């Protein structure tokens, strides 16, 4: 008789805290601050683990130890630490995926620019030393540099350093007047994406709505 383990499933229920006292607000803010710390700490440590442990078994043990370290450092239950590590690991995976996607994007842009350049080059009525032709050549050179940049990250299994933004960036967006909750959240996320700042924790997202 064979037995199989069922995967744990999590259900997220959104809610709103009402009639909060100042003490309750401070406690919630502290919890969100702690989770943000757990997330950032886990991410930085996961980058080191990825570099130090090549074997899957060693990698798994290192992550389990990280979950225990995060829990002991903050005093939160292990299940909270596991969530923080899992969120950080998702960001790590997303960054590696992004390197591949950016590489393909710049390759496509280069091929389009090159095709356009070749068309003009074959046209006898086009001056090959014109500003337009020189501009296309410079554009291809810049695009090639981008291709090589992301290609190196893919080969080395790395990515550019992530800057976790401070509270100032959040306050600049959250202070927008006359904007709905969902619109404010959308603007906030777009701002984070453009700045390539990945400190958008659940804490910041919740604060954006109020």
Express each pLDDT in 171-196 by its tens digit: 655 555 544 444 445 544 554 444 44
Residue 8: which pLDDT band, with cuts at 50, 70 and 90? Answer: low
Residue 128: which pLDDT band, with cuts at 50, 70 and 90? Answer: confident
Question: From the CB of residue 58, how many other CB atoms can be counted at a distance below 10 Å?
Answer: 12
Residues in the chain, total = 210
β-partners of residue 163 are 197
DSSP 56-94: HHHHHHHHHHHHHHHHHHH---HHHHHHHHHHHHHHHHH
Q: Is the pLDDT of residue 167 over 70?
A: no
Task: Supply 89's token pair.
Answer: 């690991």
| 3-class secondary structure, 197 | strand
Q: Is the pLDDT of residue 207 over 50?
A: no
This prediction's pTM: 0.67
Listed residue (28, 23, 31) closest to 80, CA to CA:
31
The separation between CA 99 and the C-alpha centre of its own chain, rounded to angstroms, equals: 11
For the chain, what are the domain ranges? 22-162, 163-210
Residue 150: which pLDDT band, with cuts at 50, 70 and 90? Answer: very high
Structure confidence by residue, pLDDT tens digits, 101-119: 999 999 999 999 999 999 9
């Amino acid at each position: 008789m064979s037995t199989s383990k069922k995967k744990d499933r999590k259900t997220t229920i959104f809610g709103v805290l009402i009639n909060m006292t100042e003490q309750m607000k401070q406690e919630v803010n502290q919890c969100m601050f702690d989770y943000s710390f757990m997330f950032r700490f886990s991410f930085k440590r996961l980058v080191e683990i990825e570099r130090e442990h090549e074997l899957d078994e060693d990698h798994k043990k290192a992550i389990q130890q990280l979950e225990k370290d995060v829990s002991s450092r903050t005093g939160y239950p292990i299940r909270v630490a596991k969530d923080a590590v899992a969120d950080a690991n998702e960001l790590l995976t997303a960054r590696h995926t992004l390197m591949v996607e950016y590489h393909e994007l710049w390759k496509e842009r280069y091929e389009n620019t090159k095709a356009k350049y070749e068309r003009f080059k074959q046209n006898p009525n086009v001056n090959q030393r014109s500003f337009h032709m020189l501009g296309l050549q410079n554009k291809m050179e810049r695009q090639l540099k981008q291709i090589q940049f992301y290609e190196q990250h893919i080969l080395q299994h790395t990515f550019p350093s992530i800057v976790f933004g401070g509270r100032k960036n959040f306050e600049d967006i959250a202070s927008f007047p006359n904007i709905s909750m969902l619109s404010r959240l959308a603007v906030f996320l777009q701002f984070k994406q453009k700045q390539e700042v990945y400190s958008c924790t659940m804490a910041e997202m919740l604060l954006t709505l109020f």
